[in-house]
A = this chain, B = another copy of it.
């Protein structure tokens, strides 16, 4: 889809010693500024003797990884300039925040972004003070850091983010520095395989650099303690050509290090340029992209020893090696020696600016990695071209008058979204796109796959070297790719089984925090929302059993800031279409959409659906028995496709069996509507809330997930605790769909019992009806246990006259198959 562009390949030449000296000066400047950020409150360029008062009272930060990061930054800059590359820098060891801040300051980007930090002595002082300081900036690489799309908090996603950034950016190079601590995490360990999903022509390139500095907080790292031959095999096994650099040990001369590393980096970039120059379309084997193993001492250039204990090249340099710099003369002297070892007087002008001949090492304008436009994704974001979802609407002659797999219809719309947006929209998921019924997208695209194709596998299901669908059996990988893709200004969605989206709970946390923070950073422009489509949900995993039944992701999500998160539970096909159109247009949110993939009745035609979704909540007068304006005796609330069916079935039973009871049915699409307007921008006022749910009548609420969430959301409104919520109470197994509902008391019969129990006037008079409901449940269970499927009356129940069904055969066929294919 994306047109391949030619890879920039400016002339490169071996580094000269003079160049190495300049580059070394740049590196020293970056290291000096890094150490200064960690330790100094004042006297930033050491123009007077260092005293205790110049040292920060609380020393917070991480030195260990920083000098390696700045070394690489300097070398990448040389390469960018020589070759004219478009590059970004992914800092896996995000602890090295000071290094990246220093680099962007040396390049001028920091001052352009934050004019209160100018290239002056004062500016350096402010740069130092703000670091890891109240009211200042975080100690890690963070949204505040220009050029960053990767928070240095939780580890494991450097490569996934890097690949996400270069998909559909054919001329972009991502230098992805992977820490050897991070390399032990599961997500990172599998993310090396991303190279089987990248297209040589239409995507950019990731150059992974494994930063092997040997130690974590208190331990050596695994990859630093296996023989180099084994590590090489591992990298070749991951599909890379490893290039090894070991430098900085045994007092190796820094200039010599620079000359050697520049040669290795040139070799890697030449390999990349060669791969990129191969003619398209020929039947080429997957290239073994280069990667660099960069083995240097942890805390390189820092104190060799402190109090007689080895510090450089040791875990002791992980955080703040001289924690007592303010307290002991000896450590204060150590700090001064350390700082002066960088010879700041050679690096900065009298005014405190980096000397021009050193500054000239960096590229200019948007070629600076810290100013790469795609790292402020919102600034390059283009709106999606969205086909009118109304054109994909299903016909609903009357409520319940047709049947659809709602995600399948969504798939037909997504097919045309893919078609209309060939280079900035992708669908991610762990091998479940078709299982979740989005297979129509394969009419216009494929799953991108660059691993082997077997001669016998002409039947491989929609695999191609280029495609809009990304599937690998790792939720971590899919989420990481998508995050990288969104943060660089594109759009996408992730589809997953509902239960297993918990695998990325922590990744969601980090992304939500990123969005929250960027909402308050003026220069960060809004990016496209992260959209989850959770299908194969708890009520339709009866065949996979208890391990696959978990609706708790919503609970996890709502702990994050209201300004960030949105949760939708469209009850049928047309509402799903309307909801997803809304989500794909939105910015800076995490949208969670839960929708079943099984054949279910439709309730609303497209105009009704749009209205209902716009309000997010609505009284379904046609389903209730109150006259207009009446005060109902009971409210049946519902949120979720399956609970909606059960509520409508219960309402039908009540209409027939208790004709004098005034029942109101309220359906909730936008879960955040249940909150108070003071707690969520979508929340209702007290009056609005009571208009839906009354202030005093019993509300029987059938909810898709854990019941407590409804109490939590409605807490401020439900002052009299008149809400009675049914949902998933962690009772599941392999059984029939209706038995799943019965095990959790969410079935229609139990809802009727709840009404009888909660409406005082009914209790005595309708004891028989209540018993009848109990019997119905007994019969339904017995039937299921005997026949292995649900009672026909339960399976076939639809709203209204069953004879009116749009297509009985369709329902029956769909129900017959038992549903799932996973």
Interface residues of A (CB under 8 A from B): 41, 56-60, 129, 132-140, 142, 151-156, 181-182, 184-191, 193, 196, 216-222, 225-227, 230-239, 309-310, 313-315, 318-320, 323, 327, 431-435, 447, 449, 451-454, 456-457, 459-461, 463, 471-474, 476-477, 499-500, 502-503, 505-506, 509-510, 513, 516-517, 543-548, 550, 552, 555-556, 559-561, 706, 708, 711-712, 715, 719, 721, 730, 733-736, 739, 781, 784-785, 787-789, 816-818, 820-822
Contact = CB atoms under 8 A, between A and B. Distances in A.
A319 B234 contact: no
Contact of A237 (B151, B230, B318, B788): B230
Contact of A555 (B232, B319, B556): B556
Given A134-B736, A184-B472, A505-B556, 14 more contacts: A58-B789, A129-B788, A134-B735, A182-B473, A185-B190, A186-B186, A193-B222, A219-B471, A222-B451, A233-B233, A315-B461, A503-B505, A560-B730, A711-B712
A547 B60 contact: no
B509 A552 contact: yes
Contacts of A456: 313
A543 B820 CA distance: 48
A426 to B, nearest CB: 16
Contact of A153 (B60, B545, B719, B817): B545
Contact of A239 (B226, B238, B454, B510): B226
A187 B506 CA distance: 14
B431 A216 contact: yes
Contact of A817 (B155, B323, B816): B323
Among A132, A225, A310, A447, which residue has the most Cβ atoms of chain B within 10 A? A225
Contacts of A820: 60, 319
Nearest to A706: B559
B505 A547 contact: no
B226 A231 contact: no
A233 to B, nearest CB: 4
Contacts of A451: 220, 222, 225-226
A142 B431 CA distance: 23
Given A190-B184, A233-B237, A503 B502 contact: no
Given A134-B736, A730-B561, A818-B60, A219 B461 contact: yes
A191 B186 contact: yes
A218 B556 CA distance: 30
B472 A784 contact: no
B547 A555 contact: no
Contacts of A452: 225-227
A811 B309 CA distance: 26
Contact of A188 (B133, B186, B231, B733): B186
A238 B234 contact: yes
A216 B473 contact: yes
A532 to B, nearest CB: 15
Most B CB atoms within 10 A — which of A233, A471, A545?
A545
A185 B58 contact: no
A597 to B, nearest CB: 13
A476 B56 CA distance: 37
Contacts of A239: 226, 230
Contacts of A233: 233-234, 236-237
A315 B138 CA distance: 48
A155 B475 CA distance: 11
A477 B460 CA distance: 33
A460 B60 contact: no
Contacts of A188: 186, 190
A314 B458 CA distance: 11
A139 B544 contact: yes
Contact of A140 (B182, B314, B547): B547
A452 B41 CA distance: 41
Contacts of A500: 154, 506
Question: How many copies of this kind of chain does the complex include?
Answer: 2
A547 B818 contact: no
Given A226-B196, A319-B822, A451-B226, A431 B474 contact: no
Contacts of A559: 552, 555, 706, 708, 730
A227 B288 CA distance: 12
A298 to B, nearest CB: 12
Contacts of A552: 509, 556, 559
Nearest to A196: B222
Given A506-B503, A721-B719, A788-B57, A432 B189 contact: no
A728 B433 CA distance: 37
Contacts of A509: 499, 502, 550, 552
A186 B156 contact: yes
Nearest to A234: B237
A235 B233 CA distance: 8
B237 A431 contact: no
A594 to B, nearest CB: 16
Contacts of A505: 502-503, 505-506, 556
A434 B708 CA distance: 38
Nearest to A822: B217
A557 to B, nearest CB: 10
A219 B461 CA distance: 7
A630 to B, nearest CB: 29
A309 B459 contact: yes
A626 to B, nearest CB: 28
Given A134-B736, A134-B785, A734-B132, A434 B218 contact: yes
Contacts of A708: 559, 712, 715
Contacts of A59: 818
A502 to B, nearest CB: 4
Given A314-B459, A734-B133, A547 B510 contact: yes
Nearest to A715: B711
Nearest to A238: B234
A237 B233 CA distance: 5
Nearest to A288: B230
A517 B505 CA distance: 24
Contacts of A193: 184, 189, 222
A154 B547 contact: yes
11 contacts: A132-B734, A135-B735, A154-B499, A156-B186, A219-B471, A234-B238, A310-B459, A314-B459, A319-B820, A327-B816, A559-B708
Q: Which of A134, A218, A550, A733 has most chain B Cβ within 10 Å?
A: A134
A418 B781 CA distance: 50
B60 A734 contact: yes
A155 B473 contact: yes
Nearest to A137: B734
Contacts of A320: 818
Nearest to A558: B708
A743 to B, nearest CB: 10
A196 to B, nearest CB: 6
B134 A181 contact: no
A721 B500 CA distance: 35
A544 B189 contact: no
B217 A138 contact: no
B818 A323 contact: yes
A706 B556 CA distance: 11
